[in-house]
Structure 1
């Protein structure tokens, strides 16, 4: 899929299931970004933006819960640090969603989706997820 996040440019980690989840998330954010761009010409897409945001949040919650559970099950030493980063990212996403619902500020939404999130996503995968995936692989995790 072309768009904000090229799935072939997402850093790859040692566990295929994590790469798949990252690609899914990028596609959800790309869809949301398409709607943000469409909103500039047609504000009537706000209901579609609401739906796209909910899909992204639900996917992110499931993504983080699964990763956190697997880190605990495998005894990943940096679990608390990684899980806290998930908590921070999810809190930021929930705040963004709350602000969008209350204020409908497309500029704030666009800034997060187009600038803040892609940088966080890339950095998180390149650091925490890379180390976590290697640990999963070395511990023999199969998913």
Structure 2
């Protein structure tokens, strides 16, 4: 059974956003597998840390790409959308730091496989739907 379900995300009119979202869920799935292996005594903490780093880089790039397109098209709700991205990045960084300090894999698992996907579906279904509709109406998708 997968840890995250990509089918919960709406299909947006901007292919780059759909690709970024699919990759985000793929990386979360890999983290779920690494956390499960660690919990079963078959996986190393280093594997979790490596996947966390890859997720952090991808999430930043994903958000930066969206933000650049919003700025280029003059999206009126750019600031609230970017503020939400910034909040989530700070939260993700804090949870990764807490894991590096404490090694609390259960806490990290709850955050990454419950909180993040729930937020992601909500964010995509609201802010990203509006953003993608606005951008698609004004610019050729990338």
Which residue of 2 is the match for residue 25 of structure 1?
Answer: 24
Structure 1 position 94 matched with structure 2 position 93: yes
Could you tell me which runs of 5 or more consecutive residues in structure 1 were left unpaired when the two chains were aligned: none
Which residue of 1 is the match for residue 62 of structure 2?
Answer: 63
Which residue of 2 is the match for residue 121 of structure 1?
Answer: 120
Match of 1:71, SS?
A: helix
CA offsets per residue over residues 61-114 of structure 1, 9 Å max, x none? 101111111111110000000000000000000001111111110111011012
Which residue of 1 is the match for residue 3 of structure 2?
Answer: 4
4+ residue stretches of structure 1 with deviation over 3 A? none
Could you tell me which runs of 5 or more consecutive residues in structure 2 were left unpaired when the two chains were aligned: none
Q: TM-score, normalised by structure 2?
A: 0.95
CA RMSD of aligned residues (A): 1.2
Residue 10 of structure 1 and its aligned partner are, at CA, apart by 2.2
Structure 1 position 76 matched with structure 2 position 75: yes
8 A contact 2:67–2:78 mirrored in 1: yes
Distance 1:66 1:85 in 2: 15
Distance 1:28 1:114 in 2: 11
Residue 43 of structure 1 and its aligned partner are, at CA, apart by 6.2
Distance 1:55 1:66 in 2: 16
